[in-house]
């Protein structure tokens, strides 16, 4: 009597493959936030604020992280890590409570807690070790390369955002209403690639990162963003100094030669770049209107703080009190056009300086709480750099230290020229969380 054939037995999944699958599943929410920033904005080329698919993905990331914490039933953060990440809540809530219009401040509370507390904490808890750290860092580089490629194509084909009457400004998929979006994404990728190239990882990874650094130089230049240029130069300079003076000299010479070839030799945006660089120091001698507007709004923010020094005028209060404190030199708004959008005036609703925005809306208490949290992260990153007593020593971890320190320095410098707003804000939250994973690894959820 014939016996029935037994069903085939599935081959066991190798442990290494299972580990890769688990890592991919754990990191998927973070990588989704980064990847969804490639989705173009609305019909006008941008969102003009929050509510993007990347923001929705960041909310899902926080929810997934919360479920994991509840399921594990363990305290996810030490007291030190919780204080550093939760410190901004003090100033945020106090400014909302003391606001003249608490109801209008509630959306600001949700936004600030999202981008400065919840999303960074979720990223910190999701990234488990150096391998996860490297995956997210390379995701930033990949996003920068794709956005930069779109930006360079916009410049070459004249389909970018309008700049001095020509549609040549590289803005990527962020559109004309968020001209800082692509510059921010490209800067993050360039700083992350520089940290990997200067680190102690595999030789092929360092070579690939060095190539990416060269590729990202051009779209950063074509963004015409003065604040991003300054922040990138300072962040990369610090990374080079931490990596060693001799290496810093070699890389600086190579970067200078690349800039001469691209801008000087090939003439890519040379006239516009030269004029843009010269305008950085042109404050009193015939400044352009954008410089005048910026310094006028900075002065208005200072006046608001002097009126309410401890708690500020309240979250979302700068637009409401701007005209009462600004001089007549302030224009009605900036012109935006190009990159698929029609011409319209973009209202000036913030001082384009994160420190002054927080000082005017949250007062001295809010600024000390928020800036104190950032300073603690930077101090932790510098304390744990290779070669220090508490760091991981020379060799392993150099790439993580350089990436985390570079990203934090870039953000803290850029905050002198920009503030939160637009689709790229959620990317900043991911960057802060990635940097916090390295800075707080010794006192948080385990060593990275």
DSSP per-residue codes, 135-194: HHHHHHHHHHHHHHHHHHHHHHHT-SEEETTEEEE--GGG-GGGHHHHHHHHHHHHHHHH
The answer to whether the pTM exceeds 0.75 is yes
Contact in structure between 211 and 78 (CB atoms under 8 Å): no
Query: How would residue 295 be classed by pLDDT, with cut points 50, 70 and 90?
Result: confident
Q: What sign does the CA torsion over 114, 115, 118, 122 have?
A: positive
Q: Distance (Å, rounded) from C-alpha 361 to C-alpha 378?
A: 24
Under DSSP, is residue 195 helix (H, G, I), strand (E, B) or coil? helix
Q: Which of 105-119, 196-210, 217-231 has the lowest mean pLDDT?
A: 196-210
Under DSSP, is residue 336 helix (H, G, I), strand (E, B) or coil? strand
Q: Distance (Å, rounded) from C-alpha 261 to C-alpha 30?
A: 37
pLDDT in tens, 101-123: 888 888 889 999 999 999 999 99
Q: Distance (Å, rounded) from C-alpha 84 to C-alpha 31?
A: 24
- Round the average pLDDT of the chain to a whole number and report it: 81
Q: Can you give the pLDDT at residue 188?
A: 97
Q: Can you give the pLDDT at residue 394?
A: 36
Query: How would residue 50 be classed by pLDDT, with cut points 50, 70 and 90?
Result: very low
DSSP state of 396: T
Contact in structure between 169 and 162 (CB atoms under 8 Å): yes
* Nearest C-alpha neighbor of 296 from the set 341, 334, 261, 253: 334
Segment (H or E) for 266: none
Which of the pair, 426 or 383, is modelled with greater confidence? 426
pLDDT in tens, 243-289: 877 766 776 676 667 666 665 555 555 566 666 666 665 555 555 66
Count of alpha carbons within 13 Å of 208, Cβ hemisphere only?
9
Q: Which of 3-7, 110-114, 292-296 has the lowest mean pLDDT?
A: 3-7
DSSP track, 348-379: --S-S-HHHHHHHHHHHHHHHHHHHHHHHHHH
Q: Can you give the pLDDT at residue 44?
A: 46
């Amino acid at each position: 009597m014939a016996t029935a054939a037994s069903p085939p037995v599935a081959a066991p999944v190798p442990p290494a493959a299972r580990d890769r699958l688990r890592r991919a599943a754990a990191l998927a929410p973070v990588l989704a936030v980064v990847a969804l920033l490639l989705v173009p904005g609305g019909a006008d080329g941008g969102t003009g604020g929050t509510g993007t698919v990347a923001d929705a993905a960041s909310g899902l990331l926080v929810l997934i992280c919360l479920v994991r914490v509840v399921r594990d039933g363990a305290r996810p953060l030490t007291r030190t890590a919780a204080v550093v990440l939760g410190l901004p809540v003090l100033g945020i809530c106090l400014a909302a409570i003391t606001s003249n219009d608490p109801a209008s401040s509630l959306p600001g509370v949700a936004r600030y807690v999202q981008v400065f507390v919840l999303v960074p904490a979720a990223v910190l808890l999701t990234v488990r070790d150096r391998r996860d750290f490297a995956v997210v860092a390379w995701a930033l580089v990949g996003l920068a390369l794709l956005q930069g490629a779109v930006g360079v194509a916009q410049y070459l084909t004249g389909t970018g955002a309008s700049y001095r009457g020509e549609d040549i400004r590289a803005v990527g998929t962020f559109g004309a209403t968020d001209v800082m979006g692509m510059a921010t994404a490209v800067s993050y990728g360039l700083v992350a690639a520089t940290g990997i190239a200067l680190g102690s990882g595999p030789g092929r990874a360092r070579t690939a990162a060095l190539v990416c650094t060269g590729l990202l130089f051009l779209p950063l230049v074509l963004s015409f963003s003065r604040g991003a240029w300054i922040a990138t130069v300072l962040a990369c300079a610090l990374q080079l100094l931490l990596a060693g003076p001799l290496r810093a000299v070699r890389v600086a010479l190579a970067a200078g030669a690349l800039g001469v070839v691209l801008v000087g030799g090939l003439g890519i945006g040379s006239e516009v770049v030269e004029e843009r660089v010269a305008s950085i120091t042109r404050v009193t001698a015939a400044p352009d209107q954008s410089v005048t507007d910026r310094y006028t709004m900075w002065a208005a923010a200072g006046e608001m703080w002097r009126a309410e020094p401890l708690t500020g005028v309240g979250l979302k209060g700068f637009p409401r009190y701007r005209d009462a404190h600004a001089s007549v030199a302030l224009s009605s708004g900036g012109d935006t056009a190009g990159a698929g959008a029609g011409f319209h005036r973009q209202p000036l609703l913030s001082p384009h300086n994160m420190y002054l925005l927080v000082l005017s809306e949250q007062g001295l208490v809010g600024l000390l709480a928020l800036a104190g949290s950032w300073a603690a992260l930077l101090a932790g990153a510098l304390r744990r750099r290779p070669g220090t007593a508490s760091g991981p020593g020379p060799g392993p971890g150099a790439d993580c230290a350089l990436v985390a320190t570079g990203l934090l320095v870039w953000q803290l410098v850029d905050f002198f020229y920009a503030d939160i707003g637009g689709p790229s804000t959620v990317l900043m939250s991911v960057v802060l969380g990635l940097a916090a994973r390295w800075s707080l690894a010794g006192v948080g959820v385990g060593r990275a």
